[in-house]
Structure 1
């Protein structure tokens, strides 16, 4: 048999979910970096504040956390698939 034919179908699911997880991590980093260094790059005297926090911090860390948490929940609910850990031939 060829190597691809011997490969367990669960690896294909795991590879897909790995790519989704990496994409979520990249989205989170870009969100954080964009707001933290985009808005926080000026002098401190020019900062705007939301709830006593600099706006760059609020958007990068507070809103970013809520945003990525919602994305992760939606990804797990709609894109991830439950996979059994037991091998198919070893049922009792």
Structure 2
């Protein structure tokens, strides 16, 4: 596999090597990415955000429903206050 050897401050590519995982781990190498060049700034592509899990999606749906109910309750309170001559929620 291809690897990148970084400068001590981990901002510049010092070398590109082919090595096994154990060697790369022992010397602190990072995986190669397309466009990496010796002497260039280390700028790996951003990884896409992981897709949400089923429990996360369910939790978000519950939160959205709770917020909708709170908003509905606030609208009802605003209507009741306007009927009674009070001030509306701003």
What interval of TM-score do these two structures reach, taking the shorter chain for normalisation?
Answer: 0.3 to 0.5
Larger of the two Rg values belongs to structure: 2
Higher share in strand: 2
**TM-score, structure 2 normalization:** 0.38
| Higher-RCO chain (CA-CA 8 Å, sequence separation at least 6) | 1
